[in-house]
Amino acid sequence: MAAWVPCICTNDVPKTSWTVANDLPRYQASYLAMLKDLRDTDPAARATIDAVNDLVSGGALYKALKEIRKLTKREEGLRAA
């Protein structure tokens, strides 16, 4: 008869859920500096930058990314001109 060998299952491993909200102090200073740089660099995009900031502050990160795409497209248009 074969010896019994315990099964090591990954389901027993505790899962941690990391979010930016759990680590805010680590990123807050660089995030705020980036916002200031964006506002200073492109004052015409201030409304979009503020909308992104509001979404990030509210935890709506996917919606914030969609707004950031507007900035990216605008920048690509400026580079092409």
pTM: 0.64
- The single residue listed with the structure tokens 């909200």 is 21
Q: Which of 69, 62, 71, 75 is nearest to 20 (CA)?
A: 62
Does some domain include residue 35?
yes
3-state class of 45 per DSSP? helix
Does some domain include residue 18?
no
* Structural domain total, the chain: 1
What sign does the CA torsion over 25, 31, 37, 40 have?
Answer: negative
Q: Which of 79, 80, 56, 81 is nearest to 68 (CA)?
A: 56
* Mean local confidence (pLDDT), 2-26: 56
The model's pLDDT over 25-55, given as tens digits with 9 standing for 90+, comes to 788 889 889 989 989 988 888 999 999 999 9
Q: Give the residue numbers spanning the domain of 32.
A: 26-80
Alpha helix ranges (H) inside 8-60: 24-41, 46-57
